[in-house]
Structure 1
Amino acid sequence: MSEIIFEVREDEIDGGYTASALGYGIDTQANTIEELRAMVKDAVKCYFDESMPAPKIIRLHFVRDEVLVQ
């Protein structure tokens, strides 16, 4: 595997960010984008071990919901 994709959402109520890997049971959260990047790298390192090589690329896909009120 060469790439893993995380869906990233900003918590508009409490602040901070959550990230979930697509197709894997990897989830993490952080207060800032910089912290989130470090947490995602650490989570990927912990999830993959010697029996399953870690992906070379970690992609963060930022999802933004916009609500329109009439």
Structure 2
Amino acid sequence: MNEIIFQVDEAPEGGYSARALGHAIFTEAETLEELRTMVRDAVRCHFDEGQGPKVIRLHYVRDEVLAA
């Protein structure tokens, strides 16, 4: 496996959540720096040694609402 992609969303209650696409991996954190650490840790825990991806891609999703 070369790459795993996480969708990163701002949590309604504050902080961030990240969910892997195609894998049952989910984590949350208060800051983006903490989220990066948590994602790396979650990936290491999910895959056997030597079986994990070489690259972790974070795809940030941000909604913005404008008044019409």
TM-score over 0.5 for the alignment? yes
Match of 1:53, SS state, is coil
Gapped regions of structure 2 (runs ≥ 5) = none
Task: State the match for 2:6 in structure 1.
Answer: 6
Task: State the match for 2:31 in structure 1.
Answer: 32
- Structure 2 counterparts to residues 1-70 of structure 1, below 5 A: 1-11=1-11, 13-50=12-49, 53-70=51-68
**Aligned residue pair count:** 68
Q: Distance in 1 between matches of 2:37 and 2:45?
A: 12
- In the TM superposition, residue 26 of structure 1 has moved relative to its aligned partner by 0.2
- In the TM superposition, residue 68 of structure 1 has moved relative to its aligned partner by 3.1
Question: Among the aligned pairs, what percent are the same residue?
Answer: 63
Could you tell me which amino acid in structure 2 is paired with residue 31 of structure 1? E
Match of 1:20, SS state, is strand
Match of 2:7, SS state, is strand
Gapped regions of structure 1 (runs ≥ 5) = none
**RMSD of aligned C-alpha atoms?**
1.3
